[in-house]
Each structure stands twice: as structure tokens, then as C-alpha cells.
Structure 1
């Protein structure tokens, strides 16, 4: 019995470690991370998609940071958000213990109905949870010189300096 409990505790702790929010990374080989597509010489579409453990604020933060980083990589000083959107996908997951959850299959005797099987009177309920995943995208136009004086323009180096401490990068393997 101790071995079973120890094994169960080990599996639970390992699965908890594997379930983490999406780090700041390129989305190569998965849907989670940042992507960009060049539209014109100084115009890009940038997006960041997070898994179901990544909150909306983090997804938007990573989008802004990637926009700033891409602007500096391309040799520009500032970027303007021409278009920006945050999409969400919500799914409801449910399970019935008898049909895919804690199914304990045994027979029991009830005084009124006699012997009953394939029913667990203690776990026979329905479990449901909601999962939401966010993806932020923006079309940006990059420029050099002084940043325009409006709320949709960002100094790329300032954004990187101010948001850099909040960026969580993938752990080295």
C-alpha cells in the first residue's frame, strides 16, 4: 500500500511540474509561443498564443515584448500598433465517473433492488471545468527617429527595458 501511495504522489508531483504557462518562446513545432509574418518592408503581423494556463495579461505582455524585440532586430527605433486583437477559446470539459473518470466497478446489495453492478454510489457524479486559452495578435509598423506622439506608438528599447523583468523564458534542458 505504501508503494502505491508513494508512486501516486510521485506521478502527481511530476505532472504538476509539466503543467506550466507558456514561456516566452518561438512557436516552432507547437501552437504556443510567438510568430511573426512580414507584410511589407517595415510592417509585420505579430502574434503570441498561450496554453490554457497562460492568462490574458501575460499573452498581451509577450506580444508587446516580441513587437519591441522584432523592431530592434529589424534596425528600427519605434513601432506603432495599427491593429490589435485578443482572441479567446473556451472549452468546457466534463467527465462522468462511470464513463471515463473514477470508475469503480463492483457489485453491491441494496435491500430494495437486490444486487447491483457497475455503479459506484459514492463517486457517481459529474465533474466539469472550463478551460480558456488566449491568443493576442497585432499588425505593427516600424519606424526610425522620434516616436510619434500618440498612444499607439511605442519606443522599442523602452518597452524591452521596462517589460524585460516580467518575461519568463523556457528552462534550459
Structure 2
């Protein structure tokens, strides 16, 4: 009897691990500041795709933005997409673009900061244009089916 209870417990524990109960999940965002993907149609074959992961991995957000672009490409009956613009999150301190202190009315204060609530979020925004074969020769052109196979496989 104890062996059956242990086997049932082990199966439940492994099922919980298999569902990925922790960590980011590939999903549609419900608002601008939620985790997940969103997109905006800019033209018949041009989209802006965004992926956000709260306190997340920027590389994973990039992969999932590419995945969403590939899904959109196939949904619109195209074969490939080309990234024509890309942005990622960064912190001002990473680039040391601003002086740490600035004088205001002969007094020194710390420099003004933007809203830091989303500092640790991984946010990727790409703009893509889609087309059918043959694709242009460029390093920024991706075959949609290959991107989906790669990102769904979890090899990254």
C-alpha cells in the first residue's frame, strides 16, 4: 500500500514539474505591462511584435518575439519575415550615458530617473515585414517554419 502511495506522489510531483509551474510562459499579454506577447498591424505585411517577461531573461524574450513573428507570418500566408527594426530594454546605468549628479540652482541632486518599476523586465520590440519565396538575401531574414520548429523545441 505504501508503495502505491509513494508511486502516486512521485507521479504527481513529476507532473507538476512537467507543466512548468514556475517561470515564464509563452502567452498573449492582457495589457501593455503584462507578461507575454502583443502585436500591432502597421500595414498588410508589416507588424510590430512585443514580448515582455517580468524580471526575466532577455534572450528568452527575444526568442519568443521571433516565435510570435513567425506565427503571424504563417497566419498571414507568408513564408518568411525580415526584422527591419529591433529594440530591447536597457538600464541607463549600463551605458553611463548621464552624469551621476547635476547642478540645479547651485545645489547638487541625483539625476532625475524614469519610472523604475519595470527596470528588471525583459522587453523586446521588433518590427517585421513579411513576404513569400524567394526571400531577399539578408542576415535579418528568417524562414517562419524553421523559427517555429526551433523555438517550440526548447533547444535554446
Q: Which has the higher strand share?
A: 1
Per-residue Cα deviation, 1:96-121 (whole angstroms, up to 9, x for no partner): xxxxxxxxxxxxxxxxxxxxxxxxxx
Unaligned 5+ residue runs, structure 1? 1-18, 91-130, 168-173
**Secondary structure of the corresponding residue to residue 86 of structure 2:** strand
User: Once superposed, which parts of structure 1, at least 4 consecutive aligned residues long, lie more than 6 Å away?
Assistant: none
1:73 equivalenced with 2:61 (yes/no): no
Unaligned 5+ residue runs, structure 2? 1-20, 93-118
Shift of 1:21: 2.7
Matches within 5 A, 1:107-146: 132-146=120-134
Partner of 1:108: none
Partner of 2:44: 41
Shift of 1:134: 1.1
Larger-gyration structure (1/2): 1
Equivalent pairs counted in the alignment come to 109
Q: Which residue, out of 131, 145, 149, partners 1:157?
A: 145
Distance, in Å, in 1 between the alignment partners of 2:65 and 2:147 is 11
Distance, in Å, in 1 between the alignment partners of 2:49 and 2:152 is 18
Partner of 1:83: 85
State the TM-score, normalizing by the size of structure 1.
0.58
